[in-house]
Amino acid sequence: MNQPKVIFAGTPEFARVSLEALVASGVVPGAILTQPDRPAGRGKRLTPSAVNVYATERGITVMQPTTLRDDAVIADLAALEPDIIIVAAYGLILPQSVLDIPTVGCLNVHASLLPRWRGAAPVQAAILAGDAETGICLMSMSSGLDCGPTYVSETVSIGEQETAGELHDRLAAVGGRLLVAHLADIVRGNISAVEQDESLATYAAKIRTEDAAIDWQRPATELERLVRAYNPAPGAYFMLDDIRIKCWRARQIAAVDEAPGTLVAAGRDGIIVACGDGALNIESLQRPGKRPVTAGEFSTQMDLVGRRL
């Protein structure tokens, strides 16, 4: 069988890894769908997505519609006569008019073990919930949110101190490998998709900056997971007077006899803050406009012990 005719839809680094694996396997998409360039960095310059950069460097046609409900966009996609549209962290909803274009259908590379953690932020949600494992699913797309039947999945354990960024990178690699390993069989109809159990569905909402605020009334075990889940973005944070301090690494420790939010100790081994249950030992922090530093370095810059957050 000849290589399938593919359109690839994706935007961030997670999607770029799948696209790179696809191209390396000899399947070069006829076109790429990716989000329009967005402001990024301190200068807020318009910056192309990771998928856009990769595709442009290889001369693959890039399309950046703001919506897929435009008749002209739909016509352009239909004219490519794809066998399959592969989607990975694209960021736009595919309407039924687009889902109906490819002869085989639309395939999603999703970073969870569906039906657990449907939605926008499954990697972060798995860490926040304290899940021991997550994974990658290849899912046949339908009009609902991540509710289509799944073809194959692979389980990935979550490390006790693993951050969302670290887990993301491992899942991205698995996603690319799983896609390449099973794409041909999916296109040929050699693999049957299995319906999801709706009673087991959970949802991972889009992340807001305020979600990453540290509430010291919460148990230390939850706050340790929050720090991991929001590293590298948007970064867990707390307020020290009127300064927003980002917290990049922290571990829960035994309870201390202080009110939640009290800075109990500060030194080379960490900055200890009392929580609603237990305490958090912060190991890496960052002030606005500064580089991340160890707790030891931070504690020499500010008088901390005894203060309340």
User: Which CATH number belongs to the domain containing residue 242 in this structure?
Assistant: 3.10.25.10
Report the alpha-carbon distance of residue 187 to residue 303 in Å, rounded: 63
Do 182 and 232 lie in one domain? The reply is no
Contact yes or no for 146/106 (Cβ under 8 A): no
Q: Would you state the pLDDT for residue 82? A: 97
Query: Across residues 176-203, what is the average pLDDT?
Result: 97
Do 35 and 169 lie in one domain? The reply is yes
Do 26 and 153 lie in one domain? The reply is yes
For residue 40, is pLDDT > 90?
no
Number of structural domains found in the chain: 2
Tell me if 292 is assigned to some domain: yes
pLDDT bucket at 306, cuts 50 / 70 / 90: confident
Query: Across residues 28-35, what is the average pLDDT?
Result: 97
Report the alpha-carbon distance of residue 19 to residue 13 in Å, rounded: 10
% of the chain residues with pLDDT over 90: 88
Tell me if 41 is assigned to some domain: yes
* Choice among 16-30, 57-71, 172-186, 254-268 with the minimum mean pLDDT: 254-268
Tell me if 308 is assigned to some domain: no
Query: What pTM did the predictor assign?
Result: 0.95
Residue 68 has which token pair?
Answer: 């897929």
Do 194 and 229 lie in one domain? The reply is no
Tell me if 306 is assigned to some domain: no
Range of the domain at 112: 6-204
Q: Would you state the pLDDT for residue 2? A: 79
Among residues 204, 224, 242, the one where a domain terminates is 204
Do 40 and 157 lie in one domain? The reply is yes
Can you name the residues that pair with 213 across neighbouring β-strands?
237
What is the distance, to the nearest Å, from the Cα of residue 112 to the centroid of all Cα atoms in its chain? Answer: 10
For residue 35, is pLDDT > 60?
yes
For residue 1, is pLDDT > 70?
no
235-255 pLDDT tens trace:
999 999 889 999 999 999 988
For residue 217, is pLDDT > 70?
yes
Q: Would you state the pLDDT for residue 125? A: 98
Do 261 and 112 lie in one domain? The reply is no
Can you name the residues that pair with 277 across neighbouring β-strands?
219
Q: In the block, which residue shows the tokens 């592969």?
A: 86
Do 129 and 214 lie in one domain? The reply is no
For residue 70, is pLDDT > 90?
yes
256-268 pLDDT tens trace:
889 999 999 999 8
87 Rama class: left (phi>0) / alpha (psi -120 to 50) / beta: beta
Q: Would you state the pLDDT for residue 89? A: 96
Q: Would you state the pLDDT for residue 158? A: 98
Among residues 204, 228, 257, the one where a domain terminates is 204
Do 180 and 237 lie in one domain? The reply is no
DSSP letter at 13 equals H
Do 194 and 233 lie in one domain? The reply is no
Cα torsion 211, 216, 220, 224 to 10°: value is 40
Do 194 and 221 lie in one domain? The reply is no
Tell me if 279 is assigned to some domain: yes
Q: Taking all residues of the chain, what is their mean pLDDT, rounded to a whole number?
A: 95
Q: Would you state the pLDDT for residue 201? A: 97
Q: Would you state the pLDDT for residue 277? A: 96
Do 152 and 213 lie in one domain? The reply is no
Query: Across residues 262-288, what is the average pLDDT?
Result: 94
Do 56 and 144 lie in one domain? The reply is yes
Among residues 148, 179, 204, the one where a domain terminates is 204
Higher pLDDT, 82 or 309: 82
